[in-house]
A and B are shown apart, each in its own frame.
Chain A
């Protein structure tokens, strides 16, 4: 069972209080994008074994969307952070790198 701390209301929310929102920091290519970009946006989602960044919504709680960084293998949660950012916070990236030296780093 996954427990994520909502950065907005501060509650340690159980997975069943949350709604998953898929991969985080996806560039939303619009109608004027190239076919390749649009296809990548729609279909080519990352699904790594290991460090992953996701969107979650505290749907039964305060209702806010936020981001979470976790390990998909161990379910270790590295941290959660607000939705108003295009990249994971530097401090979080540093923390992950320390815990997972093999991690190649965040790529858009």
Chain B
């Protein structure tokens, strides 16, 4: 086995907000009928969490789960356990139409921390970043600049952003530019 390295190996930036690449994180795309009780049970077994509401994110001790579309979830858990969890999902969902894929190495993850997160993202996304448009705990899939991203706030000062690994360096550069000291309009709370 080669040694796994995340997209930017934990790079950090301190500006108007603090940005850090999250390092290795286990991520599994799970697609199927989200109304199916068997799927819900498999999610519970994998990350110890109930099915999230539409656009919701749930956090727990074993991991997190995010609602990505009416038939898609993103499970997040420690990196080392991802392959094993996919195998367990496939086993418990045998005969149930589904797809479980370990996408850990295909994504880059960033943590943003500090006041003004909403404004950093709002500089490049058409999504409504007001507290009404994006409540805490709700996933938004949209674009940042010209690339697809998903992000959510776990509280007003902490945001997680996921993009494709191939654009990880671009997104980091983009975020650093958007978070340059003294450039936030201080309009959104």
Tell me the residues in window 8-67 of chain A with beta carbons closer than 8 Å to chain B beta carbons.
Answer: 8-14, 16-17, 60-64
Question: Which residues of A are found within 8 Å of B72, using beta-carbon distances?
Answer: 62-63
Question: Which A residues are closer than 8 A to B by beta carbons?
Answer: 8-14, 16-17, 60-64
State which residues 103-157 of B face A: CB under 8 Å.
126-128, 140-143, 148
Chain B residues close to A by CB (< 8 Å): 54-55, 68-70, 72, 126-128, 140-143, 148
Instruction: Indicate if the CB atoms of A10 and B55 lie closer than 8 Å.
Output: yes
Pick 15 A–B contacts, CB within 8 A, sort by A: A8-B70, A9-B69, A9-B70, A12-B128, A13-B126, A14-B126, A14-B127, A16-B143, A17-B126, A60-B142, A60-B143, A60-B148, A61-B141, A61-B142, A62-B72
Whether A11 touches B68, Cβ cut-off 8 Å, given contacts A16-B126, A17-B126, A60-B148, is no
**Chain B, interface SS category:** strand
Residues of chain B with a CB closer than 8 A to A9's CB: 54-55, 69-70, 141
Q: Cα distance A95–B12 when bound, in Å? A: 53
Q: How far is the CB of A58 from chain B (nearest CB, A)?
A: 8
A62-B126 contact in complex given A10-B54, A10-B55, A16-B143, C-beta closer than 8 Å? no
A8–B69 touching, CB < 8 Å? yes
- Closest chain-B Cβ to A45's Cβ sits at a distance in Å of 27
**In the assembly, what is the distance between CA of A17 and CA of B69, in Å?**
15
A-B residue pairs, 10 tightest by C-beta: A14-B126, A62-B69, A60-B143, A61-B141, A8-B70, A16-B126, A60-B148, A60-B142, A17-B142, A63-B69
Shortest CB distance B48–A (Å): 25
Beyond A10-B54, A17-B142, A60-B148: 17 further Cβ-contacts under 8 Å?
A: A9-B54, A9-B70, A11-B127, A13-B126, A14-B127, A16-B126, A16-B143, A17-B126, A60-B141, A60-B142, A61-B69, A61-B141, A62-B69, A62-B70, A63-B69, A63-B72, A64-B69
Would you give the shortest CB distance from A3 to chain B, in whole angstroms? 9
CA distance A17 to B141 in the complex (A): 9
B70 near A11 with CB under 8 A, answer: no
Q: Which residue of B lies closest to A14 (CB)?
A: B126
A12 to B70, CA, bound (A): 16
The docked-state distance in angstroms from the alpha carbon of A24 to that of B119 is 37
In the docked arrangement, what's the CA distance between A64 and B127, Å?
A: 17
Assembled-state Cα–Cα distance A64/B140 (Å): 15
Q: Is A17 in contact with B143, judged by CB distance below 8 angstroms?
A: yes
Per the bound structure, the CA–CA distance linking A17 and B142 in Å amounts to 6
Task: Report the Cα distance A62→B68, complex, angstroms.
Answer: 6
- B30 nearest CB across to chain A (Å): 15
Q: Which residues of A contact B148 (CB under 8 A)?
A: 60
